[in-house]
Amino acid sequence: MRGERIRLTNGDSVMSVLGKLASSHHRTDEVLNQQLAQEIARTKDSAAICELVDHLASSSKDVASDCIKVLYEVGALEPELIAEYVDVFIVLLNNSNNRLVWGAMTALGAITHLTADEIWPQIDTVIHATDIGSAITQDWGVRVLAVVSAKDSTYEAHIFPFLTNFIKECRPKDVPRYAESMLIAINETNRGDILPILEARKVVLRTAALKRLEKVIQKIKQ
């Protein structure tokens, strides 16, 4: 039930999950939020998750930020617990609060393997957020798009051209990381589109990054 007061397992008192957030204790670090996420994941507390989702729209930016933090941390541990809220996370990609945008993309990154078909109808929202987003939004956006692309040839036809152009235009130092994220989406049919781009980008990379990218290229060629 939304807004239900829930029993948390670190004590006998019954309290709102909001009382466990870092902002409720005037903390600026993430330790309490991480501990709460671990507790929710361990107990599979769906009521707590529901309350956190409800408060993503809080007028307090601190509360909303704490809620998305806990949600994507839960997703990293037990993705199926937040998968039903995939549409909520996609809506947040258009939010004016950048913390919610990259937090939502991080949450999507945790559940895309479970929700690729649900993400697909709204894939242009994900593409747009990835294209214009912050570094974290882009990091997770590429991962989300690659997983969805790998799910279906129709998805691939729409998504992969964006990914190839994205890696063609991104900062040199980011090429190896994005190439690694894209591996899941690269197959015998499309590798001819991406390999020339990766080979061309090798010339601007320093030794460590070059070695990292060469490992990806070798995997693609196998």
- Residue 131: name the closest of 167, 155, 184, 99 by CA: 167
DSSP 168-195: HHS-GGGHHHHHHHHGGG--TTTHHHHH
Mind listing the pLDDT tens digit of every residue in the chain (222 residues)? 333 333 344 433 335 888 889 887 877 777 889 999 999 999 999 999 999 999 999 999 999 999 999 999 999 999 999 999 999 999 999 999 999 999 999 999 999 999 999 999 999 999 999 999 999 999 999 999 999 999 999 999 999 999 999 999 999 999 999 999 999 999 999 999 999 999 999 998 989 999 999 999 999 998
Alpha-carbon gap, residue 53 to 40, rounded angstroms: 13
- Residue 110: name the closest of 152, 74, 64 by CA: 74
- Residue 34: name the closest of 78, 80, 70, 71 by CA: 70
- Kind of pairing, strands 6-7 and 14-15? antiparallel
Residues 31 and 68 in one domain: yes
- Strands (DSSP E) contained in the chain are 6-7, 14-15
Residues 90 and 191 in one domain: yes
Residues 161 and 58 in one domain: no
Q: Residue 110 in contact with residue 81, Cβ under 8 Å?
A: no
Q: What confidence score (pLDDT) does residue 11 get?
A: 38
Alpha-carbon gap, residue 63 to 222, rounded angstroms: 48
Domain boundary residue, one of 81, 107, 123: 81
Residues 180 and 211 in one domain: yes
The secondary structure of the chain in percent helix, strand, coil, rounded to multiples of 5, reads 80, 0, 20
Residue 219 sits in which domain range? 85-222
Residues 112 and 173 in one domain: yes
- Residue 21: name the closest of 29, 9, 32, 31 by CA: 32
Residues 73 and 125 in one domain: no
Stated pTM of the model: 0.90
